Amino acid sequence: MKLKSLLILICAVLPVAAAFAGDGEKIRYPVAAGTLYPRKGADLVKKAADLIDAADGRLRLPADEIPKAVIVPHGAQIFAGDATAAGYAALRRLKPFVRRVVLIGSSHRGRYYGISLSDARYWEMPDRRFEVDGEMNEKLLKIQGIDYDGDAHEAESSLESQLPFVSAVFSKDVKIVPVLVEDASVEQVADLIDAVWGGLETVVIVSADMASGKDADKVEKTMREAVGLTENKEYGRIKKRHFCAPLPVAGLLAYAAENGSTVKLIDSLATSGAGDLRTDGTFGYGAFGVYENDDGARDDWEHVESVLRENQESLLRVAAQSIVSGFERGRPLRVSESRYPEEFARKTATFVNVYHNGVLRGGAGTGEPARSLLDDVSENAYNAVFSDFRFVPLTEDEIKTAELSVSVLTAPAQIRFDGEDDLLSKLNPQQDGLILRERSNKALFLPQIWGTFPSPKEFLAHLKQKAGLPANYWSPTVKIYRFRVIDLNSGDLEDPMSVWLPKGRKK
């Protein structure tokens, strides 16, 4: 007789025990011991450790590629153990540093409001007792939509099933932050992840199985689709058919997209159930890693700046010829990337300004990298002349003596701070461009704006107002990113007017 797979793979209906320690502090007891993982403590740790060792040996993970966060399944170890272990094998090199493990999942036991924290002080397991990080919980409570809800956590096993692997990888003094996400927005989940992200002391575990169903071929097709969406950080397209906990996955991907992190499949996809008498369907599992950009990004941008300086005339000509194309064809210049350095094909944000007789006559730009450097410069140059209605339109005769500036933005880096005063102390006047994000409110100031608002406090106040917020607004979910600008100006060329002529043609 077949056992129902949901009882095996997701969580078992067992009596739930909650009690209080001698000092009056609540303990949450396990509900999945003997079903999702071994009941005995010694067996539990050995089984998880063996799975992680096997995954490490099988995958031969690069020593210099260590994720900051992982997405791993929570099904029974007999089915999902290999995929789950792959995620923890990638994390094990962080053991000397990690003091906090944030566990994020969704409830499989009913609908709950918002984002729920565990109200227990300890989570008991067969091998040990985990302490909940109360200090982090208090920080999270300041974010709208997050609250304690012990009922949501009592019978839910998707976070508990991660603890055997946490025991096998991290030290005995590591604390946990269990979080269940139900009725919340992707932005709220991204704010949560931003609040807990921290440094080497913290790892984030998103607990989510992948596709499931009766048709094995359809399940595998949906899993492959999910891999593409996940690795491309297309968080808006993540659905219940891709992951059993789509909101935590989408929130992590949204945060990764905001911060330029890379998402990769760690282990090959796996399924269970087809032809297995213990299940009545096919269930999919996969492990993904989220990798932060390292210090090499700074060296990389120094290289890009060098390439830009060496080829500034070519890039300025693209801007100029896109304006010429606007007059002649009514559209931006179409650029063939194969004729330019490969760095020009990277997604890059730029601003283009057009001047005549030293007076600004138009400007356009993008605050986030969304298309290649060449396409961005071409589009922005065209829009600066033909779509910036703040200025008297430049005429075709005037372009013969117009000057161009192209500002290339470095990749934005998030500033970590503890309150507004701490943020202000970390700003670099005259150098930093800033991007402010507060949920749907966004604004950008280029470094040149420091000339208008020279003090950090005034600069930040006007940035808030540009984002549609009061000048004195503050919230724990405010995010600030800094960037630098590489400026290229046609006036710096030996012959500034040459960019208005097609390449190879002389005046």
Q: Report the CATH number that the domain containing residue 470 is assigned in CATH.
A: 3.30.1490.150
Query: With bands split at pLDDT 50, 70 and 90, how would you rate the model's confidence at 11?
Result: very low
Query: With bands split at pLDDT 50, 70 and 90, how would you rate the model's confidence at 281?
Result: confident
Domain around 395: 295-406+489-507
Domain total for the chain? 3
Q: Does the pLDDT at position 12 exceed 80?
A: no
Q: Does the pLDDT at position 266 exceed 50?
A: yes
In this prediction, residue 275 carries a pLDDT of 43
Averaged pLDDT, 464-493? 95
Q: Report the CATH number that the domain containing residue 496 is assigned in CATH.
A: 3.30.700.20
Stated length of the chain: 507
In this prediction, residue 19 carries a pLDDT of 52
Query: Are the CB atoms for 230 and 263 separated by under 8 Å?
Result: yes
Asked if residue 104 and residue 60 are part of one domain, the reply reads: yes
Query: With bands split at pLDDT 50, 70 and 90, how would you rate the model's confidence at 273?
Result: low
Amino acid at 21: A
Instruction: Quote the Cα angle for 497-501-503, to 5°.
Output: 120
DSSP H helices, 274-369, are 296-310, 312-329
Asked if residue 261 and residue 355 are part of one domain, the reply reads: no
In angstroms, the CA 101 to CA 103 distance is 6
Q: Of residues 129 and 17, which shows the higher confidence score?
A: 129
Residues with Cβ within 8 Å of 420's Cβ and at least 6 positions away in sequence, in order, are: 460, 474
Asked if residue 502 and residue 396 are part of one domain, the reply reads: yes
Least confident of 110-119, 331-340, 414-423: 110-119
Asked if residue 319 and residue 202 are part of one domain, the reply reads: no
Q: Does the pLDDT at position 2 exceed 50?
A: no
Asked if residue 318 and residue 287 are part of one domain, the reply reads: no
Q: Of residues 487 and 42, which shows the higher confidence score?
A: 487
Residue 482: alpha-carbon gap to chain centroid: 16
The model's pTM: 0.77
In this prediction, residue 108 carries a pLDDT of 81
Asked if residue 390 and residue 479 are part of one domain, the reply reads: no
Q: Report the CATH number that the domain containing residue 122 is assigned in CATH.
A: 3.40.830.10
Query: With bands split at pLDDT 50, 70 and 90, how would you rate the model's confidence at 18?
Result: low
Averaged pLDDT, 241-268? 93
In this prediction, residue 325 carries a pLDDT of 97
Asked if residue 345 and residue 283 are part of one domain, the reply reads: no
Give the tens place of pLDDT for each residue, 326-364: 999 999 999 999 999 999 999 999 999 999 999 999 999
Q: Does the pLDDT at position 481 exceed 90?
A: yes
Q: Does the pLDDT at position 454 exceed 70?
A: yes
Query: Are the CB atoms for 156 and 109 separated by under 8 Å?
Result: yes
In angstroms, the CA 124 to CA 78 distance is 22
Average pLDDT, the chain: 88
Strand partners, 362: 354
In this prediction, residue 190 carries a pLDDT of 95
Asked if residue 402 and residue 421 are part of one domain, the reply reads: no
